[in-house]
Amino acid sequence: MNAIPSTSFHIAVMPGDGIGHEVMAPCIEVVEEAVRRAGNFAMRFEWLEAGADAYVATGSAMSKATFDAAARADAILLGAMGLPHIRYPDGTEIAPQLDLRFDLDLYAGVRPIRTIPGVSSVLRDPRAEKIDLVIIRESTEGLFASRGRGTIEEDREARETMVITRGVCERLFDFSLRLGQRRRASGVGQGRVTCVDKANVFTSFAFFRKIFDERARAFPDLLADHVYIDASALMLVLKPWEFDVMVTENMFGDILSDLGAGLVGGMGYAPSADVGDTHAVFQPCHGSAPDIAGQGKANPTAMFLSAAMMLDWLGERHEVASARKAAALIEGAVDAAFGTGRLVTCERGGEAGTSAVARAVLEAMAFVSTEDRP
Ligand code: ATP
């Protein structure tokens, strides 16, 4: 008889809207299989409704009870929220996932951009097969601090205000610099952390850069450098393999992470995590994709890789090695499934829809070894 695991993680599952539901269902299957194979710990899933559909049904995009339940969980796994045709009276889209970032103080948006074997980049240079960088998008202030507070004067002039604070920046940069150290120690990164800003034009970004330099002095083993946002967009297209960790303001990070997703195959391949000191939300970079919702075409890979990030975060935070092993099993299974070169998603003009990708990843997990992974 199997022993009852002593560790059980409580996960708040929020599928949200559109393809959020379609990618979440197979994701839970994949996570359960990885947990079963890794052994020694368990997961308890609490399904919660929030988003645009919830707003239509209940008048609230995320009720207080739902928020409280999510905040009590060990981690939050989110599909996608918001639908363009469902809006608040002021015309803005329903995005309670942004409220989660603000209310749970999830200051570090972690957006890994990694080429998956068998999923070729749009770049023809062979070095594009080795893209492996992480964009850290500050997620609680910057230009988004103005969300819901923008003004329009007499239909003549609109204003939004950028906010950069020392407290958030210090934590953000320390997080990014520690990630640079961890990536180098595990043989993935070169130990380079790049501050992306527009310090040559804006006072707020000069301040952002100044704090970056101050914090980087405590990490003399790393190469800490700067790139302007416009130059970083150019370099990400010309030579993305030269970057390791990039850290930037909220709005810049929003844009750069979609550019990064495009480099490695599309939105369906880009996972993300919004991490604070006590809570974290894991969700694909993509939105609810209403143009393909309900057709079985959504690529669930980003959702699977976001769940792997969640398992890795839980494993590190709670010192549960088998949770990190489960994370490596999912990542390894994704690599193995696509590595055959035969699995081509609808997103890339192929035949493989949501269930075909899920089946391939579940089958590949049986053959994955986690021993040789960092
Ligand atoms: P948001 O602003 O909510 O992040 P968005 O407006 O950027 O959303 P997405 O919903 O991310 O838009 O979709 C952008 C494009 O990428 C759409 O054409 C969509 O169909 C496609 N797309 C997004 N996610 C996936 C996926 N998982 N699989 C396949 N295609 C996807």
Domain ranges of the chain: 1-107+271-374, 120-263
Residue 92: band (very low, low, confident or very high) from pLDDT cuts 50, 70, 90: confident
For the cut 70, the answer to whether the pLDDT of residue 291 exceeds it is: yes
Residues 77-88 have a mean pLDDT of 96
Instruction: Write the single-letter amino acid at 107.
Output: Y
* CA separation, residue 169 to residues 88, 100, 196, 317, 318 (Å): 31, 19, 13, 22, 26
53 lines ligand 1 (CB under 6 A): no
What is the percent of the chain where pLDDT is above 90? 91
Residues 216-231 have a mean pLDDT of 98
Relative to the CA of 300, which ligand 1 atom is closest? Answer: 27
User: Cβ-count burial of 333 within 10 angstroms (0-12 exposed, 13-18 middle, 19+ buried)?
Assistant: buried
CB of 136 within 8 A of CB of 172?
yes
Residue 89: band (very low, low, confident or very high) from pLDDT cuts 50, 70, 90: confident
CB of 285 within 8 A of CB of 113?
no
More confident residue, 150 or 232: 232
289 lines ligand 1 (CB under 6 A): yes
267 lines ligand 1 (CB under 6 A): yes
Q: Does 1.10.357.10 match the CATH number of domain 1-107+271-374?
A: no
Residues 97-112 have a mean pLDDT of 94
Relative to the CA of 95, which ligand 1 atom is closest? Answer: 3
Q: Is the dihedral of CA 257, 260, 262, 264 positive or negative?
A: negative
pLDDT digits (tens, 9 = 90+) for 4-21: 677 999 999 999 999 999
13 lines ligand 1 (CB under 6 A): no
21, 257, 269, 286, best to mutate for ligand 1 pocket (most atoms within 8 Å of CB): 286
pLDDT digits (tens, 9 = 90+) for 249-271: 999 999 999 999 999 999 999 99
Which pLDDT belongs to residue 369? 77
SS3 content of the chain, % helix, strand, coil (to 5): 45, 20, 35
Domain 120-263 homologous superfamily, CATH:
Isopropylmalate Dehydrogenase (3.40.718.10)
Which pLDDT belongs to residue 61? 96
Which residues lie across from 345 on neighbouring strands?
Answer: 352
Q: What is the mean pLDDT of the chain?
A: 95
27, 257, 259, 267, best to mutate for ligand 1 pocket (most atoms within 8 Å of CB): 267
Residue 1: band (very low, low, confident or very high) from pLDDT cuts 50, 70, 90: very low
Instruction: Write the single-letter amino acid at 232.
Output: S
Residues with Cβ within 8 Å of 236's Cβ and at least 6 positions away in sequence, in order, are 243, 256, 259, 260, 263
